[in-house]
Amino acid sequence: MPRPRNSASDEAGRSPLDRTFTSRMTAIGVIRVATFFAIALIASASTGCKKTITVELDTYEERLAIESLLLPGTVPKVFLNRTVPFFATDNTPSELFVRGARVTISSASGTDFLVADSVYNKFWCRYEPYYIGAQATEADTEYTLTVEVGGETYAASTVTNVRAVTIDSVSYTTNFTDLYGGHEGVILDFVDIAGQPNQYRVQMNRPLDNKHETVDDFEYSSTCLADGELVEVREISRFVYFDTSFDGAPVRLVVEPAYTNRKGDPATLYVQSLNLDAAEFYDTLDRQRESNINPFIEPVFIQSQIDGAIGVFGAINRSAAVPFEFPEDSG
Tens of pLDDT, residues 80-126: 999 998 888 888 999 999 999 999 999 999 999 999 999 999 999 99
Please state, in angstroms and rounded to a whole number, the distance separating the CA atoms of residues 203 and 272. Answer: 7
Instruction: Give bridge partners of residue 124 from the DSSP assignment.
Output: none
Tens of pLDDT, residues 138-171: 999 999 999 999 999 999 999 999 999 999 999 9
The per-residue DSSP string of 182-238 comes to EEEEEEEEEEPPTTS--EEEEEEEEEE-TT--BSSSS----SSSPTT--EEEEEE-S
Residue 209 has pLDDT above 50, yes or no: yes
R_g of the chain computed on alpha carbons: 21
| Three-state secondary structure of 31-49 | CEECCCCCCCCCCCHHHCC
Q: pLDDT confidence of 21, banded at 50, 70, 90?
A: very low
- 327/55: higher pLDDT: 327
Q: pLDDT confidence of 49, banded at 50, 70, 90?
A: confident
The length of the chain is: 331
Residue 42 has pLDDT above 70, yes or no: no
CB atoms within 10 A of CB 33: 16
- Comparing CA positions, the residue from 103, 83, 85 lying closest to residue 28 is 83
How far is CA 120 from its chain centroid?
19
- Comparing CA positions, the residue from 147, 146, 191, 190 lying closest to residue 170 is 190
